[in-house]
Structure 1
């Protein structure tokens, strides 16, 4: 039996299993189907039996949730009040499941965010420091699920398989291996859990989308990581993963991508963004093409692969074609694009959301003049950071080490915007140092990031990270006005703590 036959059989088997699971699951055991509709959600929360240690600041509470039209991941942070209360009022693109987390929680808490509804969340710590959550929302799981869902997700992410070489195998063999691992990881993650049927259905769909977007659609990245992991001493530049043929993407039929259940997951939207960029599929950038005409061409390339030629999938793909323009180019909509959007989308909420995002992009473009690209100093790598910081002597310097592909880095930048706004009249400079990405990608990404920018070679980047003992991104250094390093931290430290560290370095 050849590879393609085996792969097709694997798809059929998994497809049958998916159908059986869907049929066996009653509607009461599923979350409701989502519809795109912009709105506002509120969360009123209280943490009980938690005491802030003397001399420490109140911890922050963070709310995260996905946005299926703009492909944004929203992050909002608020300090915990002295009485243990906290509050969020946030814009949403549809009713959605969000995650509330904090340094005082060992795992996040899943909450349903509903338009024009005040969600109530109570987090109670017992004498041993264990937490329980009580959630009141019309879009919710059991109280036990609210805490356990994230624990199950962490088990899924944390499960590791023995390293085996598959970089020299065909794309179809790679896909078979990934589907097998998906099954094994899901079984491991759910083993012994007390999730309700509704929560199990939710996490199983999430597992599917993680592999859809993060593994199967990113074949070349997966193969390259496998090669690097098993060939530490090799010259990685000599390895070029083979390009999958069009038939490889027949796995898309597995996932019923027209199903609105997937709107709950950011991985679904990431998958749409990946589909738009796959060389083999050759989907043209939408530009000023009328959406109807653009989709007609798109369907000639992927309709047989996904298994249908109408439905929600194409509507979301078109919306994300514009969102991709926002994300990749920080480019506002043209007048022609606005006309096309108005003419095509029957759900005017999608139009409303895209136009609101466009207003944000226009505003960002007005601030682009505050982005300063610097020539990296021509000094030995050992003296590089001293040379960069010395340029700003007399001012405090906050250095942000980041990469274009690093989600937490970009999240940290979003959170720190308020600090930059609040400190505009202070003697502080915000410096952004990056590497480990193509120069072209970096050039595009920094357009929306005001501050002083430096791009390092691979050798400079590796040396600087090693010299400061950093093991992850983002990373931050804080220098005083005399160029003396006063603090360093890995991971975004929280808005309040970061502002405090900067204030301590001000002249």
Structure 2
């Protein structure tokens, strides 16, 4: 859920903040990470004096940074409190997000090792706070419980000074400003007395990635936001200076061949920004053979990142295929499979991509065709009425979302199976977004969503948000077969809950 929703780029940053707090995953082994297509087990026991009769749910989020996805798993504890998971992993060590229904606001970081079992026993007190945690293998409890609090403090930090106008400064001034802002916030983690030195180093590395994803890659949007926040004369027209590929020289400062980035939550989003940035203009991999694709990519990137060889490029190739598999939910073509096998043989990255492809083949059977409809000529106050008129006699479920909104995308993924179970029912699934979602990226993402989509004007979007008193996304509207609004809500409550709401209107 996102606060202060208006169709401006700042929402992307706020949405990413909440996603980071909920799902942040770190590992901080000092050795080089090892890419491996493997599984890991998590077992444990939950005890609480307040849950003698209610089933306790446990939710974990596992990073797949090679195939480019965070995978959520949920199970229910037995009456004894015991639980277990067996999950796919893509590196030898992963630190996953973990929370329970007893206190879902308190996420923990739990370390998994490929091919091994991690056991976690958690006891809660009568106030639903964590009383004690025991892990096997042993793991620093402060790192498990304190890390996300530190991240939240860095995110919420505001310097005691007025916002600085950046829109009329040189690009180098802006980049220096961002690096200063990062340094100020990293003082929080540096001075924390509880978490370990190893975790501090990775928190710093990850937070720097996150700040660049949220602010630096989208220079024009950031300047527009800064102009609105620092300029009193709103009648003044902003002429944002154009950037070219040389702007991305900052990539050299990250030493992207460092495989410790495979332990950083924000690395996945960082890679997506590189792959889809229109100023960089990297080609879509498609059916191009991998050596040829890499040759084209290195022509653009090698001078910017500071190297033309190394493991980073293999990871970038895998992430390029991952965009197709995860965002379009489009299986690999036979040509792509041959390209992967020719390049990696029977290597671990090939195994990971083929494993992910098997999942996508199954998901593809559930996905409905994409339909893009247009209401651009419809007045703001008639937008919803016009959309509903196409579905007389049907229950209509409308999802207001954006491409940059991680909770929106997570909700869609969670709802896939439930939506498929309603496929033969008299239900229409409608998705609305606006100009805050880049058109090209929106066109890619809706391929993996299916059903009917509308790209509203900013005025149409604002009218709909105001009419239904929405201040955040994801937000939802549910209409019965007579076109009457029966339910509206913000934030995804869960697949079962939404499915039950829809079925109640059938």
Q: TM-score range by the shorter chain?
A: 0.7 to 0.9
Query: Aligned-pair distance for 1:366?
Result: 5.3
Deviation per residue, 1:183-221 (Å, 9 max, x gap): 111112454441022222231222232234333333333
- In structure 2, the partner of 1:335 is 334
Is the CA contact 2:327–2:448 (under 8 Å) kept in the aligned structure 1?
A: no
Q: How do 1:269-288 residues align onto structure 2 when only pairs under 5 Å count?
A: 269-288=268-287
Note the 1:12-411 alignment, pairs <5 A: 30-49=29-48, 51=50, 60-79=57-76, 83-94=80-91, 95-102=93-100, 104-132=103-131, 134=133, 136=135, 138=137, 141-161=139-159, 162-231=162-231, 234=234, 238-327=237-326, 330-345=329-344, 348-362=347-361, 369-376=368-375, 380-389=379-388, 391-411=390-410
Task: String of CA shifts for 1:434-484, please: whole Å, max 9, x gaps.
Answer: 223344443332222233333322211111111111111111123333433
Cα deviation per residue 1:104-138 (whole Å; 9 max; x = unaligned)? 23331001122232322223222443224525355
Distance 2:62 2:87 in 1: 10
Q: 1:102 to 1:202 in 2, by over 3 A?
A: same
In the alignment, is the contact (CA less than 8 A) between 1:46 and 1:85 conserved in 2?
Answer: yes
Give the whole-Å Cα distance in 2 for the aligned partners of 1:72 and 1:414: 11
TM-score by length of 2: 0.83
Distance 1:366 1:424 in 2: 12
Whole-Å separation in 2 of the counterparts to 1:279 and 1:440: 9
CA distance in 2 between partners of 1:292 and 1:464 (Å): 48
Asked which structure has the greater RCO (Cα within 8 Å, sep 6+), the reply is 2
Tell me the equivalent position of 1:23. none
Tell me: CA distance 1:50–1:426, structure 2 relative to 1, closer, same or farther (3 Å).
farther
Change (3 A) 1:380 1:243: closer
Task: Note if 1:460 corresponds to 2:460.
Answer: yes
> 1:37: how far off?
0.9
Q: Could you tell me which residue of structure 2 aligns to residue 16 of structure 1?
A: none
- Cα deviation for residue 147 of structure 1 reads 0.9
Cα gap change, 1:91 to 1:356, in 2 (>3 Å) = same
The TM-score, its normalising length taken from structure 1, stands at: 0.83
Deviation at 1:254, TM superposition (A): 2.3
**1:37 partner SS:** strand
Give runs of aligned pairs for residues 358-507 of structure 1, distance below 5 A. Answer: 358-362=357-361, 369-376=368-375, 380-389=379-388, 391-436=390-435, 437-503=437-503, 505-507=504-506
Q: Are the aligned partners of 1:152 and 1:193 in contact in 2 as well (CA < 8 Å)?
A: no
- Matching residue of 1:8: none
Unaligned runs of 5+ in 2: 1-26
CA contact (8 A) 1:152 1:190 kept: no
Task: Please tell me whether the aligned partners of residues 429 and 452 of structure 2 are also in contact (alpha carbons under 8 angstroms).
Answer: yes
